[in-house]
Structure 1
Amino acid sequence: MRALTIMLGLVLLPGHALAQFGNPAGWAPDSRTDAPGKPAPNQTNYQDRLFAQLVTAGGLAEVELGRLAAGKSTNDEVKAFADRMVGDHTDANAKLKAIADKSRMPLPDRLDPDHEKMRADLEKLDGARFDLEYMKAQVIDHQKTVQLLVWEIGLGQDAEVQQFAKETLPKVLEHLEMARQIQAQLADDARVRPAGTK
């Protein structure tokens, strides 16, 4: 809960506090500046590039797994969540790609091996078991994404990438809370369901 409060505090900082984006300790040695302590536009560092690649990989997985869940689940809440993931992450992926293109940052365009395995494992499941495993994966992936967004806000160099992270964090926190609630409900349902039923 304390970490959530700190993250929300970062998001709600006044605009003037966020105008000084960029962390000089993490700047690339060849970064150009517009003014002392202010990198020129589209100047990325290692953190920006790693962030963009990892968040894009996660976003592609959210869309792919969301489509799988929307078609496979019979639970209305899970289906609605999956549809929301497809819509929200398609939008976020497009925004980040537009920013990355300006800075010539290469981004993945297909699932990484971990998410390929996750999809293959989920495709083997049905019914309540599928729903629970999908939602467990959503909680874990959204926790990772929250950490990446906070990391970029603190250590990134490119102001547009940092701004993307700042604007995306509240939505990802909302997704995480939704996923936790649905997972908890599914786990409760599984505990009261008689053994041997789906």
Structure 2
Amino acid sequence: MIRFVAFASLAIALLVPPAFGQTTDPASPAPGNPGGMLPGTKQSASSVPAPRQTNPPDQAFIHSATVGGLAEVELGKLAAQKATGRAVKEFAQQMSRDHSAANDRLSTIVKAVGIAPPERLDEEHKAMQVRLQQSDGAQFDHSYIQGQIIEHQKTAQLLEYEIGSGENAELKDFASDLLPTVLGHLRMAQAIAAEMAQQAQAEVPPTNREKRK
């Protein structure tokens, strides 16, 4: 949890534009107001609603959730093609479907907020993609599933972070709705990993098992 808080703090520091919180003009918009509205402004005109509010945690969430969602779809498509185990292949196909739907919903919310989300994978997920592309067979299945366990643990923490610290109601609802799905994915990946470990153990000759002990 300490590592996640540190990550969240760093993400917020990187994502908040310099204009936020650095103005000395008393007539300038309030810090963290992405719509450029003055404090207390309810709407820009009698029939035009003000932009939906976001705070730094919302902005950090948008960035990380978008990148993570893109990675889930891309890696899921790759695993659906390269995986050798049936359970791994089916899991990968479900990741592509579920996260594509979540990405579409998040994109709609972000457009309404007026924030430009990332459109491609970050360096970390690109490196993960390259490593998977360079592996095959059982090694690929193992690497993909282990990566999915880690990624879904991170995503669950990210969603909980938005639920507790976010300001935008639609983003918080999105995080609340997605969290059970992500936790379900995590349990599936853990079950597949356990099954693969049992299969690998069963394939080891008895003499080698004794040596390992």
TM-score past 0.5 threshold: yes
CA-atom RMSD, angstroms?
2.0
Residue of structure 1 in register with 2:114 after alignment = 104
Residue of structure 2 in register with 1:69 after alignment = 79
Residue of structure 2 in register with 1:144 after alignment = 154
Quote the sequence identity (%): 46
Aligned amino acid, residue 61 of structure 1 = A
Residue of structure 2 in register with 1:24 after alignment = none
Gapped regions of structure 2 (runs ≥ 5):
2-29, 34-38, 43-49, 206-213
Residue of structure 2 in register with 1:174 after alignment = 184
Gapped regions of structure 1 (runs ≥ 5):
4-26, 35-39
Could you report, residue by residue, the CA deviation over 1:154-176 in whole angstroms, capped at 9, with x for unpaired residues? 00000000010011101011001
**Contact 2:77/2:93 (8 A) holds in 1:** yes
Q: 1:93 aligns with which of 88, 100, 103?
A: 103
**Contact 1:28/1:46 (8 A) holds in 2:** no
- CA distance in 1: counterparts of 2:114 and 2:70, whole angstroms: 19
Aligned amino acid, residue 87 of structure 2 = E
Could you report, residue by residue, the CA deviation over 1:136-188 in whole angstroms, capped at 9, with x for unpaired residues? 00000000000000000000000000010011101011001101101111122
- CA distance in 2: counterparts of 1:32 and 1:179, whole angstroms: 47
Residue of structure 1 in register with 2:88 after alignment = 78
SS at match of 1:184: helix
SS at match of 1:148: helix
Deviation, structure 1 residue 194: 3.7
Could you report, residue by residue, the CA deviation over 1:87-108 in whole angstroms, capped at 9, with x for unpaired residues? 0000000100100010111211
- CA distance in 2: counterparts of 1:29 and 1:95, whole angstroms: 24
Q: What TM-score does the superposition give when structure 2 sets the normalisation length?
A: 0.73
Q: Runs of 4 or more off by more than 6 Å in structure 1? A: none
SS at match of 2:84: coil
Aligned amino acid, residue 100 of structure 1 = V
SS at match of 2:118: coil
- CA distance in 2: counterparts of 1:193 and 1:33, whole angstroms: 68
Larger Rg: 2
Q: 1:59 aligns with which of 54, 57, 69?
A: 69
